[in-house]
Amino acid sequence: MEKEIIITAAISGSRPMKTMNPAVPYSPKEITDSAVACFKAGAAIAHIHVRDPISGVPEFKIEYFKEILEGIREKCDMIVNLTTSGSFLEGPGVGQQRLQPVFLKPDMCSLDLGSMNFFDRAFINPPDWAEKAAKCMMENDVKPEVEVFDVGHIYQAHDLIQKGLIKPPPYFQICLGVKWGIQASAENFLFMKSKLPPGAEWSVLGVGKDQLPMITLAMLLGGHVRVGFEDNIYLKQGVLASSNAQMVERAADLAERLGRRVVTPGEARRILGIKTPT
């Protein structure tokens, strides 16, 4: 029997710009349309950041999140994963602001553990915020996607699981090749995977040129994968991807060639223990 695989499409992130690849979506409508195209290509989950519709700079306006969530749900049954990272946010009340998407009751929200240097800024995730975020997601029946950029983040997740703040099965996104997180290599990937708790579901992303080798390794080892413009804007060296859906199509084709069956959103809900929205 073919082992099932979930494909996540990370639609826009907060860094790639249209000057880098004209296909990067900015507006809620562009992001929604891109997510739906990814669903048709085989993605079960859409990971959502929001941008200023004109300039493309990262935003965190709740009305943008709401428009995208409702837009996707009107068109398909895709699992919607809203970010709570807000690494660019500053000033008082940032922690509470980051939790606003949870109260929209999407299917999932990202949960970043551990502070780190992240590209050109410090990404601050205090331990008390992580506990508060995990509790908030549990109370609102939102599945956390635990994003881990280094091994210490996995150890912190173990602590949250032991405290009963993350329901089984925990779902990890192993993030490889993010500057200055753990580098993308087979050795590092296997090390990170070895530290996951028993029974965890896990997915892998690789940044830039590392996307294809890392997701290939994940497929061979029985995990799930994430692709999309948040992590990589190229289909291959020197060739820009024409859309997020093109990346999903390539991942789905590769999965099937490697004996992995790409699942529907409904099947992904079963695997991850996510209820169908009412």
CA 9, 80, 174, 182 dihedral sign is positive
- Catalogue all structural domains in the chain, each as residue range(s) with its CATH number: 3-272 (3.20.20.70)
pLDDT at 20: 97
Range scoring the smallest mean pLDDT among 201-205, 229-233, 274-278: 274-278
Cβ(28)–Cβ(68) below 8 Å:
yes
DSSP for residue 111 = E
Mean pLDDT within 187-209: 97
Cβ(144)–Cβ(108) below 8 Å:
yes
**How far is residue 277 CA from its own chain's centroid?**
19
pLDDT digits (tens, 9 = 90+) for 42-72: 999 999 999 999 999 999 999 999 999 999 9
Torsion angle, alpha carbons of 35, 168, 191, 80, to 10: 10
- What is the C-alpha to C-alpha distance for residues 43 and 258, in angstroms, rounded to an integer? 17
pLDDT digits (tens, 9 = 90+) for 122-159: 888 889 999 999 999 999 999 999 999 999 999 999 99
CA 211, 214, 220, 224 dihedral sign is negative
**What does the chain come to in residues?**
278
- Say what the pTM is: 0.96
pLDDT digits (tens, 9 = 90+) for 216-240: 999 999 999 999 999 999 999 999 9
